[in-house]
Structure 1
Amino acid sequence: MDRKSLSLLILIVLLGLCIRLQNFGEIFDSRIYYYGYDPYYHMRLVEAIVLEGYRPSFDYYINYPYGLRIDWLPLFDYILAFPGLFLGFWASEIFAVVFPVIIGVLCIVLVYLISLEVLRNEKFALISAFIFSVCPVTVWKSLLGKADHHIWVVFLLLLSIWLVTKPGLLKLLSGIPMLLMALSWLGAPIYAALLAVSSLFQFNEKEVRIVGISNLIPVLSSIQNLFLGFSFLAIAVFLLVGSFVKRFERRFRYAIVYYLCICSVALLSAYLMPVGWLGFVKSGISYVLGTDIYLPTIREARSFQILGVISSAGYLFFVLAIPALFMLRNGFLKVFFVLSFLISILQLRFVEVLAFPVAILASYTICQILERVDYPVFRKEEEGESKRRGRKEKKKAVEIRKKDHATVIAFLLFLALPCFANSLAPVEMTMDWKEALNWMKENLEAQDYLKAYEKPDYAVLSWWDYGNWILYVAKKAVVCNNFQAGADDAAKFFTAQSEEEAMKIVEKRKVRYVVTVEELTVKPETNKTKFIPIMQIAGYSPEYMKNKEIIDFFNKTMLYKLHVENATNLTHFRLLKNFGTVKIFEVK
């Protein structure tokens, strides 16, 4: 890399850094807050690790009073806890805020390095890095305070891909990031499978065999989760057998395609077979397909959101990536693009891995466009090749002036405008919520929040979206949180048509306080409401109801009687505190 390319890469990284710091004021307020929902439960676990010396595997403070087993894998939490073990919990709080930004920036550099392996062209690699740096989904996942495992998983996947593209035995090292991923996320085999299938279409027999052997490394994750180890062992066997099939490609052009069809049939059979020890196959496929009752109510888990996939992956850059599928000779990128797009259609959350092939493929199309307008990207290589063939070129070499560079930069920024707009992160925790949570922490009966194995005296009932906030900031046990356990009872409470019906849930769940928020309610002037998924989880079918019918139904519910009428017509509830859009009620 020459000095000019290094300077441009630094500028791209700084641009990506600035975009990811956009919510600085929201994070560093009267105290440190985080962005989103899941980061708050990660920090609950980190706090337990640092202050109590253990990471709970069961938590009575969620799904109260029954509690819930914690299935999240531990590595990510221990990474965030590491500074706090030496300096105190405050160090982990700050580290958790900046860690996603650091990892997001490293992902930009990895995309640059992977692009260099693809074409060995600095301009192509720099444009790829630029596109990835502004891709909306990669920005969302690596915002300041987004202390969730997603960008960490993307980083490990990109690191594995970069190592896979390296020559020789360096490919073996690609299994190490996969092992780290397997210790951080139960869905790691999904991304490992994407890499494995893509490798079959790019590498020769020997290289595929090396990649297969590298997948034996994450089999060590069976120490933490036996089914994870089985999954990676299956992927390793798939690649090793695939390397044998590669021998027959010269005689049978579509040997790999036939092999994939056979494997798909075998996987489908394992999914349908009523065999207990194959349950991990069924659960894995069900997770990808989004068959869980709660998944359609989660924004990032919705299916067939084609426009959402395209906008999250970069709008115009997604469109520009498509021509490259027919121009660029790289089977790995093509297959990875198609597979990641398909799983993104099944669940919007998987678009995080689509961003990488979109960035590189769109960069290739853009480079071809620049070549057509006499801005040399690949020109030097072509001229060298023509000289080797003995051809003499009579035309003078194209001179690139400063205004040409400025025009290219302006063109790239124009293409990125929709990305900049879509990358603006909405405010998740409003000032009303911050005030309400801190008031609850200071004024409601204290609970021994760090004792996850000890059942507290009471719980706070709200919708599951806000459970982690109440748990971590207010330090109070909740009926339901972002694991969705307990969401059915919360939904039945809010949709209850009588106070007697609601009190059955209150007594069952030992609820002492109820928190409502404006965005749960239904208003005639807008269809944007979280009440629809509440109805779905409660067992109703709002998709078959007219808007007026939904409003009429809402006006008879406990949610309406609490939030709109302020419990004035209820016997067992009273409004305790009003924070504007957020209201706290006490059970008498």
Structure 2
Amino acid sequence: MSQSTGSSRQESSSRFSLPEDASIADVFGRLYHLPVIAALMAFMLWVRLQSYDEFVIDGEYYFTGNDPWYHYRETTYTVMNYPFTMPYDIWTRYPEGTLAGQFGTLWDQLVATVILIVGLGSPTEAQAGAVMLVATAVMATLCAIPTYYLARRFVPRVPALFGVLLLALIPGQFLNRSLVGSYQHHAAETFFMTVAVLAMLVALSVAGTHKPVWELVVDRDFEAMRTPAIYSALAGFATALYLYVWQPGLLLIGIFGIFFLVTITSDVVHDDSPEPAIFVGAVSMTVTGLLLVIPLEEFSFSVTAYSFSQIFLPLGVAAGCLFLGALARGFEGREIAPERYPVAVGGILAGVAAVMIVALPDIWSHLYGNFVQYVGLGATDVQATIAEAQPLLAQGQGVEPIIREYGLTLFVAIIALLGILLAPLVRSSETNHTLYAGVALGIVALFIALPAVPDVLFGLVGVPGELGALVTGFLLLVGAMYLVRYPAEEQLLVIWALFLLSATFTQLRFSYYLVIPVVVLNAIVIGKVIAYTNLDADTISEAGEKLKGIEGWQVMTVSAILIAILVPGLIVPVEAAGATGTAWQIGANAGPGEVQGWDDSLEWMSENTPYPGELEGHDNRLDYYGTVEHPGDDGYEYPEGAYGVMSWWDYGHWITVLGERIPYANPFQNNARDAANYLLAPDEEQAETVLERLNEPNEAEAQARYVMIDWQMVAPTSKFSAPVTWYDDADVEQEDFNRQVYQVTEEGALQPVTRIQTQRYYESQMVQLYEGYGSAMEPEPVVVTYDIEQIPTPAGEQLEIVTLPADPDEFIQRYDSMEEAEQAVEDAPGEAQIGGVAGIPSERVDALEHYRLVYADETPGQAPGAQQLQELQGLGVDTEETLGTSLMEGLSDDYVKTFERVPGTTVEGSGAEPGAEVQAAVEMEKPTGETFIYTQYAEADGDGEFELHLPYSTTGYDEWGPEEGYTETNVQATGPYQVVSEDGTQLAELDVSEAQVIGEDDTTPTVELESAEEAGGAGSVDGGPSEDETESDPGSVTAGNALGLVAPIATTIA
């Protein structure tokens, strides 16, 4: 399939030169591709901007996902400090701050430039928001231009235009990450990578024509080297621009490095001069390396920031090209057979690897780890919690994800790759070449059809099967290129496409890169089909002549191929693969998404909590867009009065930008593991240990002041599993928190029906906060009965699963008392537990003493247990009768709940029966009017004295707010605490002031229980009397007056 490569570029310079009397038709006939490209670009832009109005709400601009919000912050900073980007950000990753290496790049500078132009040097917030809203869509549209000219390196104009059409229609990651509101760097990455590859192809072509060899360097014949040097330097410059947009783009340097290694070695084997390729590689990669000195920001080898890696890796490729050239000259001078050259190169590489493994194990581990992580099909469990880092095939069953992403175009692209690689081998006069093609194809087919084969083979030497198969495929590719001669440009296209294919199957994010070689390869297929049917023409007049004599078979052949490529998945969604729509349908349904569920809570936080630096009355206000130089490895030293907000890392950027507060964790995965350890801590003490460990680096009194939890974090079928994967304070698995329940069908198959929770789930910090508001959570006499079955796995092991009991009606039952429920668990023929459904734990979960709800989002969200309730109803469970929750009541809950971590106040109590349990309860009201009850228990000592540590106040809300350095809580008590003995015969009321809870009033409240029969008694509460006060506090209520209030609360809690 290499013929079109040369013919498509052999246009005379006169092809587009027009006579003076040329007509408009002549002009269009020769330049028709330009309006067609423009029309396709207009379509691409329309598809992406259809939903623009959905992102402008009440004059405010919204973005989708997480990263766009941080780009908004970085770009805004650049507009304010043009052309500089933020050197260090102290408004995220508390208590250290962070260098957001992948943000604040050339992409933000380009958009900032446009914003300044649109705003005539003084843009408004609305102008900036509007530009950022559409920037990615515009950049994705611009990708059509280099894509067309990249395809033109291999095919005539019509097939190249077809490739651009496919780019406009493919509905996968490239589209989804470039819709309006998706203000990210992905489209810019794709654009600049495509430009870099195109520039390298052009440089290779020019070098092949001008033949720059070593003698020209020795003779200092700069004029002869001038043209290839310029084009090679431009290729290096284009590559540097790509890395200016995305620092981890070192993958492209690796691809170029592998390409130069293969093509130089191939040239030597085929007795061609490798020096044109060496010249291009040495010049281009040297230019790239030197240009990457400019943005150097870390003296390390990090791949996610501008470091030595971005400098030394391209310079290493340049040096490698020169070394290979010197080695080739040595072979030539000593008249060594060129067939031995690959052996020498392979031996040198193996020796270098061996030395690194032994002498530099850390560097080897770093290189190997990054290779496996990005292209080696080795996604880790932690990567699996990051949407864009998950493998492509993890998105569904079989080939469904491929069809959803590309329709059939990826399969067509693979056919094109096979055609490019196998055609020269099959056409060769050497029988062993044809045999090699057959064997190589058979090995690849075997590994794909039977993945257990590479698992077993490579498992014998401790290599993962996927990685072993990948390396085998690459070696087969190299072998083919050593057997027959492939043009350098085809070699680069093949290596680029295969590496991106492997990268996409490793991490989904690379799918928006892969789309470019996919459409180019499809263009090559269409070009071959058109050439085969003798319909190839490069001008309108030529096409008209050929169409005059067109035959039916020609029409049917071309039409069948076009329909096969265009219709399934691109024009008609393949519903069986889970496709959601065509490109234009997906564009029409775009919206901001779940950030709208958080917006209310974040707006409340920005207005009703102390500004960072002003907590507890400190006067150290932080500058939101201030410039902070990189503080070094120790991180930023926050002043007194600064504090952090704890949540899952998904929401960090929203907290920074919309809430204008400082999150601990963020979508850079900063502090993600610590956040998981906190959110899943089994008790309050362990949660405090995590915070102490996290806050330790800061000399000031670092504080975690707020915790924000949404329903998805707590829902077992949503995001709950992500923190479990990151958690490392103990060895836990998903099954330690909730277990999938299966039903055995009549055919003997296992069908998942619902999940049941364990006690460990309810003890988790974030579950107790969201579900119980920090209150003690009580079990109920609900028994879940199930069976445990052992099933064999393909690996020959036994897997333990939970199944419904033989009689599904016995799955969940409610009893009249806890005693009956406990007896039912003991007598169950199979396995049984109390609770585990509908927010009911198996045993009591103690109350949290330092956390209180301060705001509940007025935006409704799905209740964490909503899916479970629906599943139970589907199994015939009467949820209202059995669980005390109707389906309607259990479907929704507050989208986000915001808690404050407060000192709390210690209450000293007396008058209880020795050894008796005492309960304190208070009814709290949310902004929506909905109420909940906070309950805490204490045990009286031998003198009848007890202590309670209470986080909720009941009075004094108006006295403290952001101006004083505290929270203006929107969740307030409807009355005082009701304190009651275990048997209900002794009780009292208790008021706790806001000042006592937040630590501004250090007086100790006291409460004395009195007999409920003594209605006129002196059961008293002391909220903190002065030294000479001898009478009861005026706000206290006698035990008798409390009697009517405790009973309903006690009944509700029980």
Fold conserved between structures, TM > 0.5: yes
Tell me which residue corresponds to 1:517: 710
Tell me which residue corresponds to 2:898: 584
Distance 1:457 1:42, change over 3 A: same
Counterpart Cα distance in 1 of 2:582 and 2:246:
27
Find the residue that maps to 2:855 and give its secondary structure. strand
2:175 is the counterpart of 1:139: yes
Pairing partner for 1:365 from 516, 525, 533: 525
**Bigger strand share:** 2
Counterpart Cα distance in 2 of 1:115 and 1:199:
21
Residues 133-185 of structure 1: CA distance to partner in whole angstroms, max 9, x if unpaired?
Answer: 33312113322233322222221111111122223223431111111223332
Matches within 5 A, 1:104-503: 104-119=140-155, 121-135=156-170, 136-166=172-202, 167-168=205-206, 169=228, 170-198=231-259, 205-212=274-281, 213-220=283-290, 221-223=292-294, 224=296, 225-242=307-324, 252=338, 259=345, 262-263=348-349, 266=352, 270=356, 273-274=359-360, 281=367, 284-285=370-371, 288=374, 294-303=382-391, 305=393, 310-311=402-403, 314-328=406-420, 330-368=490-528, 377-378=535-536, 396-398=549-551, 412-415=565-568, 416=570, 417-418=572-573, 421=581, 424=586, 427-447=592-612, 448=622, 449-451=624-626, 453=628, 455=639, 457-503=642-688
- Greater Rg, structure 1 or structure 2? 2
Find the residue that maps to 1:2 and give its secondary structure. helix
Q: What is the total number of aligned residue pairs between the two structures? A: 570
Distance 1:115 1:5, change over 3 A: same
Letter in 2 for 1:467: G
The Cα of 1:488 is off from its aligned counterpart by: 2.0
Pairing partner for 1:51 from 36, 60, 80: 80
Counterpart Cα distance in 2 of 1:476 and 1:531:
24
The Cα of 1:559 is off from its aligned counterpart by: 1.8
Q: Could you tell which deviates more after superposition, 73-82 or 559-568? A: 73-82
Q: CA RMSD in A?
A: 3.9
Tell me which residue corresponds to 2:757: 551
Tell me which residue corresponds to 1:7: 35
Counterpart Cα distance in 1 of 2:327 and 2:51:
51
Tell me which residue corresponds to 1:388: none
Contact 2:45–2:141 (8 Å) recurs in 1:
yes
Letter in 1 for 2:389: A
Pairing partner for 1:538 from 727, 732, 742: 727
Residues 109-131 of structure 1: CA distance to partner in whole angstroms, max 9, x if unpaired?
Answer: 21111111112x11210111122
Counterpart Cα distance in 1 of 2:355 and 2:508:
26
Contact 2:500–2:514 (8 Å) recurs in 1:
yes
2:144 is the counterpart of 1:81: no
Distance 1:321 1:408, change over 3 A: closer
Distance 1:100 1:215, change over 3 A: same
The Cα of 1:479 is off from its aligned counterpart by: 0.9
Structure 1 unaligned segments of length 5 or more: list them: 385-392
Tell me which residue corresponds to 1:390: none
Contact 2:66–2:654 (8 Å) recurs in 1:
yes
The Cα of 1:277 is off from its aligned counterpart by: 7.8
The Cα of 1:216 is off from its aligned counterpart by: 0.8
Distance 1:239 1:32, change over 3 A: farther
Find the residue that maps to 1:178 and give its secondary structure. helix
Contact 1:459–1:478 (8 Å) recurs in 2:
yes
The Cα of 1:519 is off from its aligned counterpart by: 1.5
Counterpart Cα distance in 2 of 1:132 and 1:262:
42
Letter in 2 for 1:10: A
The Cα of 1:369 is off from its aligned counterpart by: 5.3
Contact 1:19–1:139 (8 Å) recurs in 2:
no
Structure 2 unaligned segments of length 5 or more: list them: 1-28, 207-227, 268-273, 297-306, 422-489, 574-578, 613-621, 629-637, 696-701, 742-754, 777-847, 861-894, 903-1054
Counterpart Cα distance in 1 of 2:554 and 2:368:
59
Q: TM-score, normalised by structure 1?
A: 0.84
Q: Could you tell which deviates more after superposition, 226-235 or 30-39? A: 30-39
Distance 1:35 1:256, change over 3 A: farther
Distance 1:81 1:567, change over 3 A: same
Find the residue that maps to 1:145 and give its secondary structure. coil
Distance 1:326 1:84, change over 3 A: closer
2:96 is the counterpart of 1:66: yes
Tell me which residue corresponds to 2:965: none
Distance 1:321 1:293, change over 3 A: closer
Contact 1:123–1:377 (8 Å) recurs in 2:
no
Pairing partner for 2:47 from 6, 13, 19: 19
Distance 1:274 1:494, change over 3 A: same
Letter in 1 for 2:610: E
Distance 1:311 1:246, change over 3 A: farther
Tell me which residue corresponds to 1:40: 69
Distance 1:426 1:51, change over 3 A: closer
Contact 2:196–2:242 (8 Å) recurs in 1:
no
The Cα of 1:318 is off from its aligned counterpart by: 0.7
Contact 1:61–1:452 (8 Å) recurs in 2:
no
Contact 2:373–2:506 (8 Å) recurs in 1:
no
Counterpart Cα distance in 1 of 2:417 and 2:530:
18
Contact 2:412–2:565 (8 Å) recurs in 1:
no
Letter in 2 for 1:75: L
Residues 374-410 of structure 1: CA distance to partner in whole angstroms, max 9, x if unpaired?
Answer: 5x553789xx9xxxxxxxx9x9444999999998876
Distance 1:408 1:320, change over 3 A: closer
The Cα of 1:22 is off from its aligned counterpart by: 4.5
Counterpart Cα distance in 1 of 2:66 and 2:197:
29
The Cα of 1:543 is off from its aligned counterpart by: 5.3
Contact 2:55–2:591 (8 Å) recurs in 1:
no
Counterpart Cα distance in 2 of 1:269 and 1:276:
12
Q: Could you tell which deviates more after superposition, 494-503 or 106-115? A: 494-503
The Cα of 1:319 is off from its aligned counterpart by: 1.0
Tell me which residue corresponds to 2:774: 567
Distance 1:327 1:413, change over 3 A: closer
Q: Could you tell which deviates more after superposition, 24-33 or 307-316? A: 307-316
Distance 1:358 1:408, change over 3 A: closer
Contact 1:149–1:184 (8 Å) recurs in 2:
yes
Find the residue that maps to 1:58 and give its secondary structure. coil
The Cα of 1:556 is off from its aligned counterpart by: 2.4
Letter in 2 for 1:445: P
Counterpart Cα distance in 1 of 2:896 and 2:372:
36
Letter in 1 for 2:111: L
The Cα of 1:202 is off from its aligned counterpart by: 6.3
Of the two structures, which has the highest relative contact order with CA contacts closer than 8 Å and spacing of 6 or more? 1
Counterpart Cα distance in 2 of 1:55 and 1:65:
22
Tell me which residue corresponds to 2:1032: none
Distance 1:344 1:242, change over 3 A: farther
Q: TM-score, normalised by structure 2?
A: 0.49
